[in-house]
Amino acid sequence: AGSQQDLVKIQNIDPAIYIDMRYAGIHNFTGRQVYTANVCVLRRGTAEKLARANAEFAKRGFRLKIWDAYRPLSVQKIFWKLVPDRRYVANPQGNASRHNRGTAVDVTLVDEQGRELIMPSEFDDFSYRAQRDYPGISPFAQSNAAYLAEVMEQAGFRSLGSEWWHFDDADWTMYPVEDIPLENFL
């Protein structure tokens, strides 16, 4: 584990998964493009787990939509400067983010028309609304987030209490933190 070869483009593992890399555009909490290439990369094992989850969602007419996957460590440092709050951004020192290892994904669900399901909050809403169990959240949004987490956990991911959209591969410790530029994967 740990070489660039272990990192794969998700579209080569499961082309049915929707991709909208938010940090490759300006529609994200920084308000600017922080990724140097619009490419969605994960460890092969993580990508295979995600494909399994997507196949399960497809049985009920849904698909995964990815907002973020592998994130270079240098980008994590930019995020931490803006939001130094461990609930919402992992500290780039020490273990850093599971995203920096290519073993975390930020996802939601879309229906057959590609419309996003109602969820507890917008992506990267760094407030109590991002918690899937916050009492003020509508039962409908809560049940969609619970369904997302149930299938992702069955496929081998762990959910995060403070961000309903974030999932870590349970095997994340097998892989090191990377700072490989995204354009290397184009």
Ligand X SMILES: C[C@@H](N)C(=O)N[C@H](C)C(=O)O
State the residues that interact with ligand X by CB under 6 A: 68, 79, 88-90, 97-99, 104, 106, 124, 166
Q: Which is nearer to Zn ion, 57 or 99 (CB)?
A: 99
CB of 48 to Zn ion, least distance (A): 19
Q: State the alpha helices, DSSP H only, in 59-183.
A: 73-82, 139-154
Tell me the helix, strand and coil percentages in the chain, rounded to 5. Answer: 35, 20, 45
CA pair distance 2, 5, nearest whole angstrom = 8
175's contact among Zn ion, ligand X, none, with CB below 5 to 8 A by partner kind, is none
Phi and psi at residue 176, to the nearest 5°: -85, 165
3-state secondary structure of 95: coil
Q: Which is nearer to ligand X, 55 or 83 (CB)?
A: 83
Could you say which of 51, 75, 106, 156 contacts Zn ion (CB under 5 A)?
106
CB of 89 to ligand X, least distance (A): 5
CB of 52 to ligand X, least distance (A): 22
CA pair distance 97, 73, nearest whole angstrom = 8
107's contact among Zn ion, ligand X, none, with CB below 5 to 8 A by partner kind, is none
88's contact among Zn ion, ligand X, none, with CB below 5 to 8 A by partner kind, is ligand X
Instruction: Extract the tokens encoding 107.
Output: 């996802």
* Contact status, residue 67 vs residue 108, Cβ threshold 8 Å: yes
Residues 61-80 interacting with Zn ion (rule: CB under 5 A):
none
Stretch that binds Zn ion, among 35-43, 75-83, 102-110, 127-135 (CB under 5 A): 102-110
DSSP 149-161: HHHHHHTTEEEET
Q: Which is nearer to ligand X, 29 or 185 (CB)?
A: 29
Q: Which is nearer to ligand X, 89 or 109 (CB)?
A: 89
Residues composing the chain:
186
Q: State the alpha helices, DSSP H only, in the chain.
A: 10-13, 44-58, 73-82, 139-154
Q: Where along the sequence are the contacts to Zn ion (CB under 5 A)?
A: 106, 166
